Chain A
Amino acid sequence: MSIEVKNLIKKFDDKVVINDISFHVNNGEILAIVGFSGSGKSTVLKIISGLIPYDSGEILTSDGDIAMVFQYSALFDSLNVFDNISFALQERKDLKHKYSMKDLQKIVAQKLELVGLSGIENKFPSELSGGMQKRVSFARAIVTNPNTILYDEPTAGLDPMSSTLIEDYIVRLKNETNSASIVVTHQMSTITRTADRVIMLYDGGIVFEGTPKELLKETNPYTKQFVTASLDGPMQLKA
């Protein structure tokens, strides 16, 4: 079991955002989390990655690095692409001094090739389009070969081809490293192309759990509303 979340509860001030949810992700498996804006998807990822504390419950992950691809890329805008991607290798206590400049150049070039952006090492994030930034942030996240990978809307704002590129890479990486991955997404293509299982969050709870095929069958009123993007149904957009 590579990621296990048990009875997780998270409040912001007095507002319960995650209300007692449990799920697991096996090694070599990709779980998609879907749900409307504000349903707490990013919050779940931030809790698993240790960025924010939670009120009760239990989070278990296997040893090794946890990587996260942020919703808005979160590239370091004062560093160029090379320093962004090699940041962990240059700054992390147990990794710095381990790699020569040549090693770093090789690793960065290899990761950039993976995301289809060879040769942009010296550019700064502000010189890249949003989609390119997203792909660079992807390369940065996987530089330490993590075995738990959390993607917060990895394909949002990408053109269809870049989306496919990233989706294929998410699957390829999982197959190669046997990592456990969670993909938060609104995009049907990303769900169907990457996910083994899907959970849907609404109002702090899990309202659907199943395979992408089952999601598309629209048997559950929640999934029906989600798949058809209807305003009528059990879920209401709210602040």
Chain B
Amino acid sequence: MITLAQYLKRSATYKLFTTLFSEVVMFLDTIGGIIQLGIHFISRIFKDGISGKELAAQCERFGISSLPITLSIVGMTSIIVSSQVANEMVKQGGADFVGMLMTILIVREVGAVMSGFAITSMIGSSLASELATMKVTEQIDAIDVLGVDSVGHLFIPRVLSGILMMPVIVLIASFVGVLLGALTSNLFSGLSYRAYFSSVWLGLYMKDFWVSLLKAATFGGTIALISCAFGYNAKGGAKGVGIATTQAVVWSFIAIVIWDMVFAILFFF
């Protein structure tokens, strides 16, 4: 005979809810851990200051080495979007607004979001695996035993480089995106460059521009912080490095989409 309570515990509904509950707890736990490391890192900026040399090295890694991939991804997305948009708009008599529409799309969304995805897969994964490897080989312990705060030492240059470089990346990528939009519209839909660019200005609001840069800085800082945090908390050997890297990428992607939604609600409603 089993009691009702035991029976209940075997039911699918019960299992579903306990699984969901533990997932939610884990989710909040992870976010809590990331925020905690974020606060720790900010407090270290005031205590330790910033090493210019390290920051420069990380900026180069974040911004320069990733540029070819980021530009390719944003560029190709722009080509895809404009090949769809331009054709249709020219047919419907909206040729005068192709440049405007493309600019709005790229500056408000495509530039930052696609750069964010590209940077996550290139830089985020490399930050996470770097710190995770340091963690599992006790290099992070060694930093602490030598009397240096490991969170400050590792996070400050990496997260700050994300905040500083991401706006630059997004700016360049958006510029390239708008140019490729013109090229595509011209080649596939016969739209003249003059028609395209005369409406680009109509789509370029100062506010969009600043919001885009702010969004980029937020994305960059978030990707770097999440990636460093998962690396820093890695456990176990080579497998732990793999898990940390995967999680860093997944969580960065999710964070980008969530931030993008927050920005859309805050600035464009």
Complex Cα–Cα for A72 and B141 (A): 12
Contact status B144-A51, CB under 8 Å: yes
- Is A91 an interface residue when CB atoms closer than 8 A count as contact? yes
User: Quick one: closest A residue to B148, CB to CB?
Assistant: A91
Min CB gap A223→B, angstroms: 30
- Chief secondary structure at chain B's binding surface: helix
Q: How many A-B residue pairs lie within 8 Å, measured between CB atoms?
A: 57
Contact status A72-B142, CB under 8 Å: no
Contact status B48-A66, CB under 8 Å: no
Min CB gap A176→B, angstroms: 21
Complex Cα–Cα for A26 and B249 (A): 50
Complex Cα–Cα for A206 and B137 (A): 28
- Which B residues lie within 8 Å of A141 (CB)? 145-146
- Is A207 an interface residue when CB atoms closer than 8 A count as contact? no
Contact status B146-A66, CB under 8 Å: no
- Is A218 an interface residue when CB atoms closer than 8 A count as contact? no
- Of B47, B48, B137, B146, the residue contacting A87 (CB under 8 A) is B146
Known: A91-B153, A93-B48. A74 touches B147 (CB 8 A): no
- Which B residues lie within 8 Å of A49 (CB)? 145
Contact status B146-A74, CB under 8 Å: no
Min CB gap A134→B, angstroms: 13
- Which B residues lie within 8 Å of A70 (CB)? 138, 141-142
Contact status A74-B148, CB under 8 Å: no
Q: How many residues of A contact B (CB 8 A)?
A: 27
Min CB gap A98→B, angstroms: 13
Contact status B145-A76, CB under 8 Å: no
- Is A18 an interface residue when CB atoms closer than 8 A count as contact? no
User: Quick one: closest B residue to A91, CB to CB?
Assistant: B148
B interface, size bucket? 10 to 19
Contact status B145-A51, CB under 8 Å: yes
- Which B residues lie within 8 Å of A51 (CB)? 141, 144-145
Complex interface bits, B216-239 against A, C-beta within 8 A gives 1, otherwise 0:
000000000000000000000000
Of residues 39 through 67 on chain B, the ones whose CB sits less than 8 Å from some CB of chain A are 47-48
- Chief secondary structure at chain A's binding surface: loop
- Is B139 an interface residue when CB atoms closer than 8 A count as contact? yes
Of residues 113 through 127 on chain B, the ones whose CB sits less than 8 Å from some CB of chain A are none
Contact status A87-B139, CB under 8 Å: no
Q: A140-B146, A141-B146 are in contact. List 5 more A-B contacts (CB 8 A).
A: A72-B137, A72-B138, A92-B147, A92-B148, A93-B48
Complex Cα–Cα for A95 and B139 (A): 20
Complex interface bits, A58-80 against B, C-beta within 8 A gives 1, otherwise 0:
00000001111011101111100
- Is A2 an interface residue when CB atoms closer than 8 A count as contact? no
Contact status B148-A67, CB under 8 Å: no
Complex Cα–Cα for A144 and B139 (A): 18
- Is A46 an interface residue when CB atoms closer than 8 A count as contact? yes
Complex interface bits, B125-157 against A, C-beta within 8 A gives 1, otherwise 0:
000001000100111011111111000010000
Of residues 27 through 80 on chain A, the ones whose CB sits less than 8 Å from some CB of chain B are 46, 49-51, 65-68, 70-72, 74-78
